[in-house]
Amino acid sequence: MRALSTYHAKRDFTRTAEPRGRVARGSAKALRFVVQRHDATRLHYDLRLELDGVYKSWAVTKVPSLDPATKRLAVEVEDHPIDYGTFEGIIPEGQYGGGTVQLWDRGTWIPEGDESPEAALAEGHIKFTLDGERMKGGWALVHMRDKPAKGRGKPHHNWLLIKEKDVAAKPDKPDALLAADTSVKSGRTLVEIAGGKKPKVWNSRPPTSVTASPVARNAESKKKSLKRRKV
């Protein structure tokens, strides 16, 4: 349960329909991945790779880029249970990550290279192949220097999500996947899942809730850093 202790601590399961879940036992025949489009404080994409009985998770600030030259910031977040891979719905306001969740992509993944995926993640550079309904081919996650914590907060573990140069890549078309706006599970848009509520767009408005997502906190921190440099 230790691998999911942070996930459990952040949620009140009497209020949210998110699965409580547990660490999966045994080895999967094929490692699964999902991407959930998440309309929280800001609209972003949650990439989850199955490993060691949980989903290793990153909040990607924009739609995954099919252009190898365009990197996407991916903020590492807490491990999620495998049950989360089928979750789609509304997280209540006031709960961690409150907003609408859409199952945007799903499939299997294969780690590349001679190292174990655990070792590659620990070293901060992992390459892998995705076979999803929308994301395909080679990808990489590269760890950046951790952003120091402020006060009693924890440091941001920032990575870059990068498309490899292969037949699935689309140079000069980083936002090609924006056209894919429906759920691979239900066929619904975010608006339909949310009951008519339009999704938020990325902006520089600071979060007002202590339950703001890692993406929102990271964006606000970057904004303040740029202001200090201009002074």
Give the model confidence (pLDDT) of 23-64 as tens digits: 998 767 899 999 999 999 999 999 999 999 999 999 999 999
Predicted confidence at residue 134, as pLDDT, reads 98
pLDDT mean across residues, the chain = 88
Predicted confidence at residue 25, as pLDDT, reads 87
Per-residue pLDDT band for 103 (boundaries 50, 70, 90) equals very high
Nearest to 142 by CA among 128, 160, 129, 163: 160
Domains in the chain: how many in total?
Answer: 1
Whether pLDDT at 70 is above 90: yes
pLDDT digits (tens, 9 = 90+) for 133-189: 999 999 999 999 776 656 555 666 999 999 999 999 999 999 999 999 999 999 999
HEC profile of 175-231:
CHHHHCCECCCCCCEHHHHCCCCCCCCCCCCCCCCCCCCHHHHHHHHHHHHHHHHHC
Q: Tokens at residue 48, please? A: 């989850």
Domain that holds residue 122: 2-230
More confident call, 205 vs 98: 98
Residues 6+ apart with CB under 8 A from 183: 88, 102, 103, 104, 189, 193
